[in-house]
Structure 1
Amino acid sequence: MTDVFYFKKFNVKQSSSVFKIGTDSVLLGAYINCESAKYILDIGCGSGVISLILAQKSIANIHALDINIEACNLAKENFKNSKWADRLKVFCKAVQNFDTKIKYDIIVSNPPYFTSGNPSPKKAKAIAKHDLELDLKDLLLGINRFLSEDGKAYIIYPALQEDYFVKECKNLDLFISEKLFIIPKKGKQAKRIIFEIVRKPSKFEISHLTIENDFRHDYSQEYRELTKKYYLNF
């Protein structure tokens, strides 16, 4: 079964067997500054929504990876139906098996992040929700292989696993230059963090973004500003 998620400048066909579009992916894509990038790598692309957001605001060639054949086919269709089809390419491979001489200016990933609990019954959802096929170390190793010397990588990850994330980066001599703490609702604790990763030590910045104010669907001004180029209702 398929349905379509409509954005201002592109549409994304979704399937029940591929992880659906969520706030995490849109926030991650919207947050990244990629206007000057020449090459972008999207690891674990799913339906391709992050790649499409980055294509809208850059002139980069974007390579999207996924190990799920259904996700790859869906991303290919969504790319083909967009106005940036000539700059978007899907590779149905795990990052561990991907090989290229290209060094990417931007690498992005909204990875599987649950490390406990029972996997979903369906394989496709299990891969999307659990780190069965791509754990954090494999993802960071991929970043180490493919990030350009002055490039930046962006990963969204659960706030509860912040210490683990930082430790894994240190183990691979990768440096965190920014943390954006994403707060789901005013007065609540952050649930996600967008990490900006670089190869060299640099100035470290921390910021916060609240999605909703006091009531459900009462979106904050900062959230609206960040995503208004993409969501129809903003």
Structure 2
Amino acid sequence: MSKGFQFKQFFVGHQGCAMKVGTDGVVLGLWAALPGRGRVLDLGTGTGLIALMLAQRGPDLAVQALELDAAALAQARQNLAASPFSDRIQLQGGDACHFDGGPFELVVSNPPFFTPDVHSPDPRRHQARHVAALPPEELAAACARVQAREVALVLPWEGQQLWAEPLEALGYRLYRRCALYSVAGKPSPVRALLQWSKEPKPFEESQLVLRDQDGQWTAQFRALGRDFYLHF
């Protein structure tokens, strides 16, 4: 069984993490619109995957990564140290509800969004997956507290408004939304990729399909991920 994922420029071990490397985090790391320079925050970094992707995509960015779970923090520390971007990523343990290290140009997060009726018997996996671990209101408050100019999230397509409302109440305006389809021909998206800004910007709507009906990666996704995936 694989204990990690090899990308073109770095390896992400995940044996110590309740949540393994997954498509949600990868796609968010590829899709989020980045500032040209400044500080960005990966909130709830887990393996460190998104922090590493942001560092690769933004050579002039200083990346901060925050993780609550001690085992995931240790795994992320190992992954970041072994990467070519270790000098630009600062990793810290702690709770988003008490973190105050801003300001940041951008906060990126793949937050826990499963509802309590979707239960995992593993307490660490339950914490990593379920919305009670970081409710939408607390996530929005954390973004405001660190003075984030922009926020980018990956969320369930159904229910995305639960996260949108508290952010919008704090002055963030949605300006990018991408409907993510797992397979071509599916009637509805599985995820929403969303980005908000404190400044008014023209609204951009798009869609991304991961696999065609034969189960192969689409040309669209290959183009997006070609700097990261080994065989794209």
TM bracket, shorter-chain basis: over 0.9
Contact 1:106 1:147 in 2 (8 A): no
Aligned residue for 2:64? 63
Contact 2:137 2:163 in 1 (8 A): no
Aligned residue for 1:207? 206
CA distance in 2, matches of 1:190, 1:215: 18
- Secondary structure of the structure 2 residue equivalent to 1:96: helix
Contact 1:114 1:131 in 2 (8 A): yes
How far the C-alpha of 1:171 sits from its partner, in A, is 2.5
Which segments of 5 or more consecutive residues in structure 2 lack a partner in the other structure? none
- Which piece of structure 1 moves more, 21-30 or 58-67? 58-67
Which amino acid is 1:63 matched to?
Q
Which amino acid is 2:81 matched to?
K
Contact 2:40 2:105 in 1 (8 A): yes
How far the C-alpha of 1:89 sits from its partner, in A, is 1.5
Aligned residue for 1:32? 32
Contact 1:18 1:47 in 2 (8 A): no
- Secondary structure of the structure 2 residue equivalent to 1:223: helix
Aligned residue for 1:222? 220
Q: 2:185 aligns with which of 184, 187, 201?
A: 187
Tell me the C-alpha RMSD between the 2 structures: 1.6
Alignment: residue pair count: 230
What aligned pairs does 1:32-181 form with structure 2 within 5 A after superposition?
32-34=32-34, 36-58=36-58, 59-100=60-101, 102-148=102-148, 151-181=149-179
- Which piece of structure 1 moves more, 115-124 or 8-17? 115-124
Which amino acid is 1:132 matched to?
A
CA distance in 2, matches of 1:224, 1:17: 27
How far the C-alpha of 1:2 sits from its partner, in A, is 7.6
Change (3 A) 1:10 1:187: same
How far the C-alpha of 1:27 sits from its partner, in A, is 0.6
How far the C-alpha of 1:116 sits from its partner, in A, is 3.1
